[in-house]
Amino acid sequence: MEIIRGLHNLSKQKQGCVATIGNFDGVHSGHQHILSQLSKKSRTDQLPSIVITFEPQPQEFFVPQRSPARLTRFRDKAEVIADCGIDKLLVIHFNESFSQLSAEDFVQQILVDKLGVNYLQVGDDFQFGKDRGGSFATLLESGEKHGFAVENTQTFAIDNERVSSTRIRQALEAGNMELTQQLLKRPYCMSGHIQHGAKRGRTIGFPTANVPLHRETPAVSGVFAVRLWGRDLGICKDTIDADVNETNDNRRQGINGIANIGYRPTVDGQKGLLEVHLFDFKGDLYGKLVHVDFLHKIRDEMKFDSFEILKEQILNDVVEAKAYFSK
């Protein structure tokens, strides 16, 4: 998949394209269904498929203090979108200048002049342009004027409830990793490069691989049974098939362990960090890009009065995690 960062790097798509627009945070099962349909449309029409998204997300630009925690970093989002068969990802920098673009100019300058859109798929509640002046009805009118088709995405539901990024955040907050995995069609995952830490875990017998979060607020916190994998380790994930509702933990190979994600209140309360202790593993992970699947929540993060009490609790956490993996 080609990633186009910014409109200035976008040359006109002379042959046209099929496209969709959205944040696609988490790229959950509903998103995957949309992207799968778009990919099929592109093959039928013999046109490239393009996903249009924004960085930062509009809500993060307008109300950063109230914007929800992201489910995925951009790199992870792009990887899952690519797995869904999309040809190009257009990332528009959402800034003050772009926020002032009217709905009519958005259609003319981007969809028509830059992309030459033949087919556009969006939700019927989609709003865009300055002061959210554009709507699905606006796009229908624009499509008739400029000669492109517009279709609304159908609501995708599991257990008779709409799948959404908000619903996934609620499941994560409740520690319901099984529901989270069902909604995502994969385990909830975070990734990053292993960095050196203070190595305090070694002093109590639990060395950890440390992954910086690079985000203000993580969507999860606490202690989890996890599985670590990555191409740098020779362990790759299965390619996502958006038509298959497969939620079996064992689809991914990896190294089992426990992880704490949060702010380490017992130590120093520093900025967020993901610390992973792996079972029965010896090797050098520093600098390697890894992915951590969160499979089962053990407990919330908490502060302990001493390292000895912390060590005793970690021993209990390990027992619970290993019991989970032995099922």
Which residue reads 């704490």 in tokens? Answer: 260
Same domain? 34 vs 153: yes
Supply the pLDDT for residue 203.
Answer: 52
Shared-domain flag, residues 311 and 231: yes
Task: List the CATH number of the domain containing 99.
Answer: 3.40.50.620
User: Do residues 72 and 213 share a domain?
Assistant: no
Taking the C-alpha atoms of residue 326 and residue 324, their distance in angstroms, rounded to an integer, is: 5
Whether the predicted pLDDT of 154 surpasses 60:
yes
H or E element that contains 20: strand 17-21
Domain count, the chain: 2
Looking at the domain assignment, is residue 173 inside a domain?
Answer: no
The answer as to whether 227 is a domain residue is yes
Query: Using one digit for the tens of pLDDT, what is the confidence trace for 6-60?
Result: 988 887 656 799 999 999 999 999 999 999 999 999 999 999 999 999 999 999 9
Structural domain harbouring 35: 2-158
- Classify residue 319: in a domain, yes or no: yes
292, 278 contact by CB (below 8 A): no
Distance CA 291, CA 324 (A): 20
Domain termination site, one of 142, 158, 174:
158
* Residue 172: partners with Cβ closer than 8 Å, 6 or more residues away: 71, 180, 188, 219, 220
Helices and strands, counts by H and E, the chain:
10, 14
Whether 180 maps to a domain, the answer reads no
Give me the DSSP letters along 193-258: E-B----HHHHTT---EEEE--SSS-S--EEEEEEEEBGGGTB-PPPP-TT-----GGGS--EEEE
The fraction of the chain above a pLDDT of 90, given in percent, is 64
Question: What single-letter amino acid sits at 99?
Answer: S
pLDDT for 287 beyond 90? no
Eight-class DSSP state of 312: H
Q: Decide if pLDDT at 98 tops 70.
A: yes
Please report, in angstroms and rounded to a whole number, the separation of the first and last CA atoms in the chain. 38
- Answer yes or no: do 18 and 111 share one domain: yes
Q: What is the number of alpha carbons within 13 Å of residue 9 lying toward its C-beta?
A: 11
Predicted confidence at residue 271, as pLDDT, reads 61
Confidence of residue 245 (pLDDT cuts 50, 70, 90): very low
- Confirm whether 73 is domain-assigned: yes
Does any domain span residue 280? yes
Q: Give the span between the Cα atoms of 96 and 206, in whole angstroms.
A: 47
pLDDT at 207: 78
Query: For the chain, how big is the Rg over CA atoms in Å?
Result: 22
CATH number at residue 225: 2.40.30.30
